[in-house]
């Protein structure tokens, strides 16, 4: 085992972070423009950003330096804006220059064809530390995310600019829209071998289609089992119709998938039994939306990996971030609580209750403050307050006044959510919880209403499904209504048309009209056929639609549930094992009986 | 004279360029997006921009390398947009990295207090080549222009970003808006000394006020006469009211003023006798507007300077640019020509004539092509066609069709200018020529209508001046009309109000109503007093305005001419001595009898 010791000595160490969102809320009074001028000594004043995102990016880079990593991997969305402000560009480059240039030697070599790896850059198609005119001490490798993806005829983004300066290695960029070849950057340190695959963000549906059509290929190195294969992606992980990347689509060549885009910070590695790889989702380093998932403590991961003579052994040690502005998220059902306590629920009592809650949270936040001078004192707070009567709500403005300069988002603390009465719920098949969940979406994702419709019908159970009108028609009609300023009766016209077509189709099916189930099944079949017809186009359909006739009830009930779709939702929901004590890594390894024998890789808490 | 020889050996050599406008017309079919993939050898393909501005920036940097300059001076507007596209940022940094990093040693030292020189940057307040982590072979020093000036609360611009990467030295940035101190960067090479003063663009009126109030100070080095003092500015040089920088406002400490912003490329140095300095206006490296001044050949300048033991001797050698897309500008009075030739002027004959002109120009352009593969084959052409009758004009579309892919601006070749009949001209005091000149303005300057009004009244003679309504009221009313969507009768209300006020004032003056001159003078005095009242505000005035009464003729004639203002215009117009043979430098020196004895500097064609 002499070689194992030798290899351990040359262990790869890399810092993993993602979704840093430089420039997010940079114009916000507290989160963006606070001046935090800290002079460490008379000789040199430290970085005077005061901005949340830059503070934390600096912390990330400091962690990299302190842990003597070989390199940094970023999982996309380094920038929040596609065209970052001069401030974002300036601060980003200052920080990279400060922490990633220096005399320290880089101890690994790139042995792959770099012109292949960096084919998108003509002038400098090689890793930055090989440029003899720049002393890079810590190479940063980054893919792009959906916020900073390449656009325009030239297909360029902010990462191209940073990369042109030599301060970052931008990888995982593909210029071919019809076929993608992922060629890994092959790193060698001693006898340890690490293959870094990257795939920058692509619109989920496009990537989904490309992968389904086998248009995405991977070029593994020779003797691929000797390599520790890391795959960095930035896509939806949670299922939204076809707007996500199923883990099953990823190459099972991977040993570790680093998943960007999802902001929830998950300390544990997750084992995918089918694909036989681990998934690591570090989550964002900054809170960009006020949801429960973002309230979890933020962290980055320290990857270490070496070949023990038999197999590659690795671990990812989570390192909590101390500068991130914390979010406290609570969902309150005050009325119910008041009911039990026999307190009358009205605007005044609700107001008072919420003020007390925020005070409690502020007290808790003071106790939980990391002690780092760079962690802002004012937390983000979101109270999601359910109400049944409009009279119970109160003025945001009046409420926010209590917390100016104490809470970072004073005007956005309270989110009122109308609680629908059981009565009204019983009268419909609409799944309001599912709908709320979809509308409550991460503000960074920028959903449009068509997505919500599609996702809703993708997630709701069979009872709530449409039986005659197919969803893509509905989606297209809504789109037409919203974007093309079509007249408001476009939907009723489409419904009429579909209704009449279905009647005709039913007649040709010769269905027994007395047999409700048979009619339902036939309707469903007709609808399915229509759904499959990709040529269906509302605008085209409308040209054939005659004047609308009468109001028709198209809802046909069914008690059947689509078990598959429900399971699919549950599957994507259950993935998180939440532990906050950092011991997650061990649990993530799972039972050894999983035996990852396929090619000599094992997860080993070193 | 041993020291003179020694000093000549250590002569400073610097390349001077300005107004490169990276990203200008980057979305234009020919000027911006042409793919010019030139593979020099199988190993390395050269820069694949194809864009006019990037091509020429590359040429400029190549000239710097080929001439082994010590450094490059840029006079502002390196970028055309305040927030440049990713493409502009990327290409800019690629080119700087390619041409300005390298092993070549920098042979001069910076001996000034760099924290003072680069006080706007906290992390790297020193010249880039002193960063031991970057090998800079050619330091670039740049001020900002009006296109790429710092904005926002953080007062940052694209140059800050480039500077943060270490690829440029951004100087002449002042963060104090009320008082400016210009501290020169002091460069020493052997015993030669060069002081580089910079003042990035400020709104002309603000700078004018600051300078008039003596709020701009210069910190000359000790023994200032030993130094060769270069001052880089980026302001209007041509007089527009107070919207320009009078040369007399500049410190006479300067030996050479490098003037950015003005796009006209002037090969000769110009001697300012009063200030006893030379002005060098290299002009832009790219044509951004279709005017006569931009049709002159573009060039950059090679400055060389050393101390001959008695005084600093210098020259600026103009180097013509070979890659700039040429503009051919002609002003045509076709009707007059047709009149002499007895040809009937109508749309058809005009059309044919213009087609022939463009064909001739294209022929000329082919002959004059530099032969450099990087000079685009399709020139820019502007024919300024005067017409007296709308029927003589023809369709731009039809005309442009003849020249698609042969002329770079096919749709903008013809500019029709209505020739006003002498009859109509006689009926008014409007100076149409002056107005045309103002409206025909450089498109990069982004004038608004208020500026045009102000400039017009600043330049027109007394006959054309307003006698009752003061110009700032008119300007404000127009602004209100345009920006605030005020009702269209705002101007007539203001006129009425002013008319009534003037009548009242005249009554209190007890002017003899029979004496026209006395009335005129009184009116003028009343108007002048109003003009001085800086509190006059249209919106405020409007609140006092009652309902408009009747149409009033406010024009009061005067034959007097304001001799002063006419002279001022002429003065700024006469400044150019145009020679194209490159011998300009010698002429610029002027007669030796000028004797620049003040502090041992002389211009010497080395």
Locate B482 and state its tokens: 């345009």
Chain B interface, best mutation among A43, A165, A166, A200, by max B CB count within 10 A: A165
Last residue of some domain: A320, A346, A362? Answer: A320
Query: A228-270 pLDDT, tens per residue?
Result: 999 999 999 988 777 899 999 988 899 999 999 999 999 999 9
Enter the tokens of residue B519: 């009335």
Q: What is the mean pLDDT of residues A366-395?
A: 90
- Give mean pLDDT, residues B279-304: 97
Are B317 and B292 within 8 A, CB to CB? no
| Whole-number pLDDT of residue A473 | 73
Q: How far is A153 from chain B (nearest CA, A)?
A: 8
Determine the Cα–Cα distance for residues B285 and B297; give it in Å rounded to an integer: 9
Examine the domain organization and report whether B414 and B368 are in the same domain: yes
Q: pLDDT category, B420, cuts 50, 70, 90? A: low
Q: CA of A404 to nearest chain B CA: how many angstroms apart?
A: 21
> What pLDDT, on the 0 to 100 scale, is given for residue A536?
56
Q: What is the pLDDT of residue A370?
A: 86
B285 within 8 A of B20, measured Cβ to Cβ: yes
Asked whether residue B143 is assigned to any structural domain, the reply reads yes
**What pTM was computed for the model?**
0.75
Distance CA A374, CA A325 (A): 9
Q: Are residues B224 and B169 in the same domain?
A: yes
* Tens digit of each residue's pLDDT (9 = 90 or more) over A171-187: 999 878 789 999 999 99
Same domain as A507, residue A385: no
Q: What is the mean pLDDT of residues B236-243?
A: 84
Query: What are B32-91's pLDDT values in tens digits?
Result: 865 544 444 333 334 444 589 999 999 999 999 999 999 999 999 999 999 999 999 999
In a domain, A240, yes or no: yes
Instruction: Print burial letters for B269-303: b (CB count within 10 Å at least 16), e (below 16).
Output: bbbbeebbbbbbbbbbbbbbbbbebbbbbbbbbbb
* A357 and A412 belong to one structural domain: yes
Query: CATH code at B338?
Result: 3.30.110.110
Query: Would you call B212 helix, strand, or coil by DSSP?
Result: helix
Q: Which range among A285-289, B118-122, B415-419, B461-465 shows the weakest confidence by mean pLDDT? A: B461-465
Predicted pLDDT of residue A587: 33
Q: What is the rounded distance in angstroms from the CA atom of residue A48 to the CA atom of residue A51?
A: 9
Distance from CA of A233 to the nearest CA of B (A): 22
Tens digits of residue pLDDT in B433-489: 666 565 554 443 444 566 667 666 766 666 667 777 777 777 777 766 655 545 556
CB contact under 8 A, A87 and B156: yes
Average pLDDT over residues A51-65: 95
With 0-12 / 13-18 / 19 or more C-beta atoms within 10 angstroms meaning exposed / middle / buried, residue A86 is buried
Q: Above 90 in pLDDT, residue A327?
A: yes
**Lowest-confidence range among A33-37, B371-375, B587-591?**
B587-591
A520 — pLDDT class (breaks 50, 70, 90)? confident
Structural domain harbouring A174: 1-320
Indicate whether B312 and B348 sit together in one domain: no
Give the count of beta carbons closer than 10 Å to the beta carbon of residue B580: 12
Helices B432-439 and B449-459: angle between axes, nearest 10 degrees: 140
Question: With 70 as the cut, is the pLDDT of residue B262 above it?
Answer: yes
> Which helix or strand (DSSP H or E) is residue B516 part of?
helix B516-532
Mean pLDDT of all residues belonging to chain A = 80
- Longest Cα–Cα distance of chain B, Å, equals 91
Look up A147 and say whether it is catalytic: yes
* Domain identity same for A453 and A499: yes
Provide the mean pLDDT of chain B: 80
Indicate if the pLDDT at residue B7 is higher than 80. yes
Of B82, B91, B93, which to mutate for an interface test with A (greatest number of A Cβ within 10 Å)? B93
d(CA B524, CA B501): 13
Pairing between β-strand A216-218 and β-strand A270-272 as defined by DSSP bridges: unpaired
> Do A124 and B45 make contact, defined as CB atoms within 8 angstroms?
no
Q: Which residue has the higher pLDDT, A225 or A481?
A: A225
Name which of A33, A102, A157 is nearest B86 (Cβ-Cβ): A157
* Statement to judge: residues B108 and B209 lie in one domain: yes
Write the pLDDT tens digit of every residue in B383-400: 999 988 888 889 888 999
Determine the Cα–Cα distance for residues A182 and A160; give it in Å rounded to an integer.
Answer: 18
The answer, yes or no, to whether residue B535 has pLDDT greater than 60, is no
pLDDT at A413: 95
User: Could you give the ipTM of this predicted complex?
Assistant: 0.74
pLDDT at A606: 39
Instruction: Specify the range with the lowest mean pLDDT, choosing from A36-40, A535-539, B298-302, B327-331.
Output: A36-40
pLDDT over 70 percentage in chain B: 74
Distance CA(A155)–CA(A160), nearest Å, equals: 9
Q: Which of A479, A504, A533 is the last residue of a domain?
A: A533
Q: Indicate whether B331 and B315 sit together in one domain.
A: no
Q: Chain A closest CA to B132's CA: distance in Å?
A: 8
Of the listed ranges A58-72, A202-216, A334-348, A532-546, the one predicted with least confidence: A532-546
pLDDT (tens digit per residue) in A483-499 = 554 555 667 777 777 77
A158–B89 C-beta distance less than 8 A: yes
Distance CA A307, CA A192 (A): 6
Write down the pLDDT at residue A374.
Answer: 85
Residue B180 has pLDDT above 80, yes or no: yes
Establish if A263 belongs to a structural domain.
Answer: yes
Interface test with A, best of B123, B126, B200 (most A CBs within 10 A): B123
Using a CB–CB cutoff of 8 Å, tell me whether B509 touches chain A.
no
CA dihedral (A466, A472, A477, A481) positive or negative: positive
Structural domain contains residue B554: no
In a domain, B538, yes or no: no
Do B310 and B375 have their domain in common? no
Residue A365 resides in a domain: yes
The verdict on a CB contact (< 8 Å) between B101 and A133 is yes
Out of B296, B320, B344, pick the residue that ends a domain: B320
Residue A274 maps to which CATH number? 3.60.21.10
Residues A397 and A499 in one domain: no
Mean pLDDT across A552-571:
30
Residue B540 located in a structural domain: no
Q: Please indicate, yes or no, whether residues A11 and A108 belong to a single structural domain of this protein.
A: yes
Q: Of A120, A147, A208, A240, which is the active-site residue?
A: A147
Sequence-ordered alpha helix ranges (H) in B150-264: 158-165, 204-212
For residue B145, pLDDT over 80 is answered with yes
Same domain, yes or no: B109 and B158: yes
Whole-angstrom distance, CA of residue B513 vs CA of residue B515: 5
- pLDDT value for A601: 60
- Number of domains forming the structure of chain A: 3
Residue A277 domain-assigned (yes or no): yes
Nearest to residue A347, comparing CAs of A410, A414, A406? Answer: A414
Q: Give the pLDDT of residue A438.
A: 59
Top-confidence residue, A554 or A245: A245
- Asked whether the predicted pLDDT for residue A503 surpasses 50, the reply is yes
pLDDT of residue A90: 95
Tokens (6 digits) for A231: 């795959």
Q: Name the more confident of B581 and B50.
A: B50
| Confidence class for position A43, pLDDT limits 50, 70, 90 | very low
């Amino acid at each position: 085992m002499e070689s194992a010791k030798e290899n351990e000595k040359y262990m790869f160490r890399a810092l993993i972070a993602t979704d840093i969102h430089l420039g997010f809320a940079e114009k916000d009074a507290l989160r963006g423009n606070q001046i935090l001028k800290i002079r460490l000594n008379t000789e040199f004043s430290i970085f005077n950003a005061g901005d949340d995102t830059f503070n934390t990016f600096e912390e990330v880079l400091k962690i990299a330096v302190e842990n003597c990593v070989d390199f940094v991997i970023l999982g996309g969305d380094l920038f929040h804006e596609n065209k970052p402000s001069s401030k974002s560009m300036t601060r980003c480059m200052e920080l990279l220059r400060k922490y990633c240039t220096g005399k320290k030697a880089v101890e690994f070599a790139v042995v792959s064809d770099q012109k292949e790896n960096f084919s998108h850059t003509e002038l400098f198609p090689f890793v930055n530390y090989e440029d003899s005119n720049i002393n890079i001490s810590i190479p940063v490798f980054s893919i792009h995310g959906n916020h900073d993806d390449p656009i325009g005829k030239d297909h360029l983004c902010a990462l191209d600019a940073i990369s042109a300066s030599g301060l970052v290695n931008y990888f995982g960029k593909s210029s071919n829209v019809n076929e993608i070849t992922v060629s890994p950057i092959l790193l060698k340190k001693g006898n340890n071998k690490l293959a870094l695959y990257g795939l920058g963000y692509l619109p989920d549906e496009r990537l989904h289609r490309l992968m389904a059509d086998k248009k995405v290929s991977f070029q593994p190195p020779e003797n691929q089992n000797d390599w520790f294969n890391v795959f960095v992606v930035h896509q939806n992980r949670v299922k939204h119709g076809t707007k996500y990347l199923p883990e099953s689509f990823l190459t099972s060549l991977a040993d570790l998938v680093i998943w960007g885009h999802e902001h929830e910070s998950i300390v544990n590695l997750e084992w995918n039994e089918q694909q036989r790889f681990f998934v690591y989702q570090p989550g964002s380093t900054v809170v960009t939306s006020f949801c429960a998932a973002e309230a979890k403590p933020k962290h980055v991961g320290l990857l270490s990996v070496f070949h023990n003579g038999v197999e590659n052994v690795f671990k990812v040690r989570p390192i909590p971030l101390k500068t991130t502005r914390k979010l406290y998220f609570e969902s309150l059902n005050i009325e119910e609580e008041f009911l039990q306590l026999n307190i009358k629920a009205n605007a005044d009592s609700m107001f008072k209750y919420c003020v007390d809650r925020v005070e409690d949270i502020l007290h808790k936040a003071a106790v939980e403050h990391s002690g780092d001078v760079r962690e802002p004192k004012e937390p983000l707070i979101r109270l999601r307050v359910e109400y049944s009567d409009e009279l119970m709500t109160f003025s945001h403005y009046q409420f926010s006044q209590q917390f100016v300069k104490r809470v970072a988002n004073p005007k956005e603390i309270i989110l009122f959510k109308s609680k629908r009465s059981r009565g009204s719920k019983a009268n419909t098949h609409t799944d309001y919880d599912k709908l709320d969940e979809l509308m409550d979406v991460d503000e960074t994702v920028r959903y449009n209403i068509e997505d919500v419709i599609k996702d809703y019908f993708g997630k709701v159970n069979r009872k709530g499904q449409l039986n005659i009108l197919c969803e893509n028609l509905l989606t297209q009609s809504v789109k037409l209504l919203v974007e093309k300023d079509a007249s408001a009766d476009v939907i009723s016209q489409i419904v009429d048309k579909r209704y009449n077509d279905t009647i005709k189709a039913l007649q040709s099916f010769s269905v027994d009209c007395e047999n409700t189930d048979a009619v339902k099944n036939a309707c469903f079949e007709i609808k399915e056929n229509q759904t499959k017809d990709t040529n269906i186009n509302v605008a085209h359909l409308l040209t054939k639609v005659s004047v609308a006739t009468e109001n028709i009830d198209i809802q046909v009930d069914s008690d059947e549930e689509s078990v598959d779709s429900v399971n699919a939702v549950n599957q994507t929901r259950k993935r998180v094992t939440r532990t906050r004590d950092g011991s997650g890594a061990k649990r993530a390894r799972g039972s050894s009986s999983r035996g990852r024998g396929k090619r000599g890789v094992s997860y080993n808490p070193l």
